[in-house]
Structures are given as structure tokens and as C-alpha cells.
Structure 1
Amino acid sequence: MFLLFMVWSVAEAKGKPKVFNVMKYGATANGQTDDSKAFLTAWSEACEWEGRARILIPRGSYMLYPVEFMGPCKGHTTVVIRGTLNAPSEAQALFFNTKWIGFRYIDGLNVGGGGTFNGQGVASWPHNDCIMNTNCQPLPTSVKFDFVKNARIHHLKSIDSKNTHFAVFRCENLNFTKVRILAPANSPNTDGIKIGGSQNVGITRSTIGTGDDCVAVLPGSSDIRISEVVCGPGHGISVGSLGKYKGEEDVRRVVVRNSTLRGTSNGLRIKTWASAFASEASDFLFEDIEMDNVRNPITIDQNYCPHGSCNPQASSHVQISNVKYKNIWGTSCSKIAVNLHCSESAPCKGIVLGNINLAHHRDSVGIASSSCSHANGVSYGQQNPSSCL
């Protein structure tokens, strides 16, 4: 009988999660009182639970100052966010913090529930002077995942981040599904999802509108899958920038499929700095993409220089190879719809343009053009504009 009881107890612990409600740890949900301690205490106890743990954040408004939910945990941890989590609106409250909410060193994480991360960035954006000031104090990322494995982030909303909405660093097997990311087009550096040094990251069935890249794939990332994403406003879906620092890791195997870009300042972009630092960016597939009034729908820019202070004699040493653009259609608000500006020192190799149909929306006959330099590859099928390969 005792043995049967023990077996039943173990099965129950594994099958039914234990709930850790932040309200029981002192959270007030009035939108003004700092609930950070209650959240951290609930996390600490949930992380120590050897079975399945579920942290519940009920409906309501919660004020959180910078918090980091640290692992490793003893079991799989789920965070169910029903309410709205608010960052302090004043920029000074978050200075010297690189992130508002962090998840770190966790294997087996599920964050969802339909709730909202409100970065309250409106009051902070005027403090972002990084374009003019190279010694600027960067504003914090809203939610950052560091060294996280086997995670799902789903059915969540992030609005008005002070800086990047979601950042992923040194993670493995992490998937975003049905997330909504919103910030005005003029909000500085509010990238939607930024991925660096990570493997096997997926983004699907999501809507992203920001003041910067909807998705940015940074050095050291591989096996990145993006599908069924609507991007706009923003700077498009970008690989890079790459080649700015010595010793950067390569970027490999990025796939973007079945997605739409609307009114973005770039479409599908690969950007590298003109520097002597060598790395590789290879094996990309951009397929079945609609462009709706997009500036620079297809672009490789190997002379990326956003602040205009680069050495005009320098050349990028990032080798770009095996990049396929297939079934890309819609309208371009720039005359040059396909712009492949590769490096003289490391010309692009294996570029493929297949069935491209991009019209210039301001032209009475809708004729756009293409421009290539140091780009080697082939084209097939419909080519509007005419291929420059």
C-alpha cells in the first residue's frame, strides 16, 4: 500500500503542476506599488519545485522594476501572464540596467497566457541620443533570454519598449508563436526580436511593428526560422549588422517564409560593415514574401554606415554566399527594388533570384529597376525588375 501511494504521489507531481500565484506572495496588482519582490519570491520557490511549476500572474496591472528570473530550475517552469506588466515610465529608474525583465540559465521554460509587457517607453525615447553620442547610456531591453534552452514564448503582447522588445542571446531551441509587438515607427532602437549567438530559434504567426528591425539576426546565430510574420512599420527583417568587431561568429541557415512586409524602410536585408574583420554569412532562403509599399525590398548592403562616419576606402570582409530569393512580389516605394551591393574584397557568391515581381508603386507603369555590384549568381523565372545578375 505504501509503495502504491509513493508511485501515485510521484505521478501526481509529474502530471499536475503546482501553482505559485504571485498574489499570495504580496503582489498588489494596482499598477503603482512595486511588485518586483513578490514576483522574484514566487519564481524562487517555483524554480526549486522538483515537479512541474506554474507561476500565475492573474489579470490586473503590475509595476515591476528590473528583475531577473535565474535558473537552473529543478523542473519545467511555466509562467502564465494574464495581466499587464508595467515598466517604470521614467527613464532614470532603469538607467544602468541592460534589461527590464530577464530569464537566465533555464532549461525548459514556457511563457504565455495572453498578457502584456508594457515598456512605457514614450517618456524615455527622447533620452536616446545614441545616433549622435557614441558614449550614450543605452536604454534597457524589455525582455531578455540568456542561456535559455527548450523554451516557448507565445500568446503575448509587448508594447512601447524603451529599447529592444525581446532579445535572445546564447539560447537553443527557443520558439516565439503568436506574439504581438507594437511601437511607433519613430521610436528609436525598438527592435522587435533580436537574436544573437543562438541556434534553432523559430518565430511564427506573429505581428511586429516597431521603430527598428522587426527581426534582427546577429553574429553567431544559425538555424533561424521565420514564417507567417507580418512586419511593419519598421526597418524590415535583417541579417546583421555583421563585421563590426574582431572575432565575430558566422551566421548560417536563416529561412524566412510566407510573410508580409508593409510600409517598412527595408524589406529583406543583409547588412555588413566595411571593415577588415572577416566572417561568413551563408545558406539563406527568403521565399513567398509579399512587399507592400516597401523601400529597398531586396537589399544586400556591404557598406553599412548608419551614422555616415565610416572610411570610404574600406571594404567589407564578410563573405556572403548561397542566398536564395524565391517568389517575392508586391510594390516598392523606391525606384531600385533589388539592390545587391556586395563587397569588392569578398564578392557575394551563389545569389539566386527566382520569380521576382516588384513594381514601383509611384510609377504610372510600375517599372522598377535593379542594381548589382560584386554580386555573382543566377536568376530564373519572372524578373520584374530585370535581373542585374
Structure 2
Amino acid sequence: MHIIHIVCFPYAFQSLRFDFVTNSRITQLTSINSKNSHMNVFACKYMKFDQIHIIAPKASPNTDGIHIGSSSNIQILDSTIATGDDCVSMSPGSKNINIRNVMCGPSHGISVGSLGGGPNEEDVSGLMVTNCTSIGTQNGLRVKTWARSYTSNVFNLTFEDIIMDNVNNPIIIDQQYCPSHNCEKGDSQVQIRDVKYRNIRGISSSKIAVAFDCSKGKPCEKIELNNINLTYHGDEGVVASSCSNVKGIANGQQLPGSCI
């Protein structure tokens, strides 16, 4: 017996929606203080967003910068995003997404998910995030799935050449995602595999700079850490990693020390 996770917003107004759009470019556009997501991309193919500027207060809920779902071959380039939620969020069916040279923050970071909330969800695959900077964000690079979720897959994700500046959770996989703190208990059935973190550097605002809280029922597989250099200057102690149910490999510099 599963419960479908549905979040209702009393004023779910999105500033811009792109539904079933193909072969298009959105450029030099500014969005300020959306009531909900600034830009929603659904069932689109071969779209390019560049020189986009998105602004919303840090405390404004659900104001995702660009939210992508059931779409493929989407590019987000050379942009700045400051919101009260995710800079870019990728929901089920996001495939071959390229995010490059994006300045993110304040916000909740760049997120995959949440996933596994409903039956027959499409997989997420082929994400490439490169040359991006997170400043003062809640998360840096996040993958999140519901606990006791429906079955789906996340694979072939690459995060490379990323700068973290005072980020609370620079690298995080959370397979116990439950923002209401009142979710059904159980293991996530979303399989996460083939995720690469390369040349991630900067400053964590919390002691735990790398956190992999993966599913006991379907552990994360083929996770790669390569040249990680994240420091912490707070009073909680030495910077550290935290791992649960994760299999992978670590190469090159590892600060904090790898736990996989």
C-alpha cells in the first residue's frame, strides 16, 4: 500500500509555462518575484535558455527558478538565479539536461527530484552540470527521493567544476526526503546509479559537506568522487562525510575524507 505524495499550493501561479515546445530559444529574459515557479518546462524538446536572470526573496516558498519535467535535450546556460526554492529542479522524465555557467543563490540549489512520489514515473537520466557556482544556498547539488516511494531510476548524472561558497549541503543524496516530517516509513524504491562528482571545491557552511543517505532496499551504485575539496570553518569540528547504503569509488583529493 503506497501513498501518492501530492503538495497543493493555494496560489500556484507560474510566471512562464512552456508546454510541448520544440526547437526554441529563450534568451535575455528577466523574471522577478514569481508567485510560484518562474519558468515551468513540460514535455519540451531541444530548448535553450541562456542569459536568463531570475530574482525572488530567499524566504519566498516554491519559487523554483526553472522547473523541468518530461522533457529532453534542454540547455540552461550563462544565467543567474536567486530564489526561495531550487535554482533548477528536474522532475520525472527529465533527460539530457545541460546546465552550464549558472550562478545560483540564494536558493535550495540545483536539485533532481523529488522522485518516486507516484506510480509509473519516467526515469531521470543524462544530466550534465558544469562550471556552476552556488552562493549561500541550502544545498549545492542534491538528488532527493521520497521514502517508501514508487519504483523508478536515476542514472548518468555528472556534476563537474562546481564552486561552493558558504553552502549548507554542498553534495547530498537524500532518499528519505520528507519536508512535512509526517511521511510513511519505508525504503525508497528509486534506484540511483552512475553519478559523478568531479572537481567540486569551496566552503561548506555545515560540518557534513558530503552526505549520501541512500535507500537500504536499493543502495546507490557507481557513485564517483573525484577531486573534492570542501572546507568548513565553523565551530562544529572538522569537515566530514556521511554515507549510508552507497557503493562507489573515490579518486584524487578527498576533503572531506571519502566514506565510500
TM-score above 0.5: yes
Is 1:202 the counterpart of 2:70 in the alignment? Answer: no
Partner of 2:112: 239
Partners of 1:178 and 1:212 in 2: CA distance = 20
- What does 1:326-341 align with in structure 2 at a 5 Å threshold? 326-341=198-213
1:346 to 218, 232, 235: 218
The amino acid across from 2:106 in the alignment is P
**One-letter amino acid of the structure 1 residue matched with residue 132 of structure 2:** S
Alpha-carbon distance between aligned partners in 1 of 2:157 and 2:64, rounded to the nearest angstrom: 21
Contact 2:16 2:40 in 1 (8 A): yes
- Between the two proteins, the alignment pairs up a number of residues equal to 255
Output one character per residue of 1:29-88: Cα deviation in whole Å (capped at 9) or x when no partner: xxxxxxxxxxxxxxxxxxxxxxxxxxxxxxxxxxxxxxxxxxxxxxxxxxxxxxxxxxxx
State the AA in 2 paired with 1:285: T
SS across alignment from 1:140: coil
State how far apart, in whole Å, the 2-side matches of 1:194 and 1:384 are.
Answer: 31
Point out where structure 2 has 5 or more consecutive residues left out of the alignment. Answer: 1-5
Question: Deviations along 1:218-242, whole A, 9 cap, x unmatched?
Answer: 1011000000000000000000000
CA distance in 2, matches of 1:174, 1:134: 27
The 3-state SS of whatever aligns with 1:267 is strand
- Give the conservation status (yes or no) of the 8 Å contact 2:123–2:153: yes
Q: Is the alpha carbon distance of 1:363 and 1:374 closer, same or farther for their aligned partners in structure 2, counting shifts above 3 Å?
A: same
**Residues 1:164 and 2:34 aligned together:** no
Any idea what the Cα deviations from partners look like across 1:181-240, whole Å, max 9, x if unmatched? 000100110000000000000000000000000000110110000000000000000000
1:153 alignment partner, SS class? strand
Equivalences for 1:53-202 in 2 at 5 Å?
136-202=9-75
Structure 1 vs Structure 2 CA RMSD: 1.4
Verify the 8 A CA contact 1:293 1:361 in the aligned structure 2.
no
Cα gap change, 1:282 to 1:303, in 2 (>3 Å)? same
Residue of structure 2 in register with 1:211 after alignment: 84
Match of 2:241 in 1: 370
Structure 1 partner of 2:3: none
Q: How does 1:40-51 map to 2 (within 5 A)?
A: none
Aligned residue number for residue 230 of structure 1: 103
The alignment status of 1:384 with 2:252, answered yes or no, reads no
Using the alignment, how far apart are the partners of 1:187 and 1:138 within structure 2?
A: 13
Overall identity of the aligned pairs, in % = 54
- 1:362 Cα deviation (Å)? 1.6
Query: Structure 2 length as normaliser, TM-score?
Result: 0.96
Report the counterpart of residue 136 of structure 2 in structure 1.
263
Structure 1 spans left out of the alignment, 5+ residues: 1-132
Alignment partners' CA distance in 2, 1:285 and 1:278: 22
Query: Residues of 1 paired with 2:243 and 2:103: CA distance?
Result: 28
1:311-363 CA-to-partner distances (Å, cap 9, x unmatched) read 23x11000000000000000001110000010001100000000000011325
Greater RCO between the two (CA within 8 Å, min separation 6)? 2
1:321 aligns with 2:193: yes
The whole-number CA distance in structure 2 between the counterparts of 1:134 and 1:323 is 28
Q: In structure 1, the residue corresponding to 2:169 is in which secondary structure?
A: coil
Once residues 203 and 363 of structure 1 are traced to their aligned partners in structure 2, the CA distance between those partners, rounded to angstroms, is 37
Shift of 1:134: 5.7
Larger helix share, 1 or 2 = 1
Offset of residue 135 of structure 1: 5.3
Deviation at 1:136, TM superposition (A): 4.5
Between 1:273-282 and 1:319-328, the stretch displaced more is: 273-282
Hey, what's the Cα distance between the residues in 2 that align with 1:297 and 1:154? Answer: 29
Contact 2:166–2:205 at 8 Å: present in 1 too?
yes
Distance 1:169 1:262, change over 3 A: same
Distance 2:226 2:250 in 1: 6
Counterpart AA for 1:233 = P
1:306 maps to 2:183: no
Counterpart amino acid of residue 263 in structure 1: G
Is the contact between residue 11 and residue 35 of structure 2 (CA under 8 Å) also seen in structure 1? Answer: no
**Distance between the aligned counterparts of 2:10 and 2:159, measured in 1?**
35
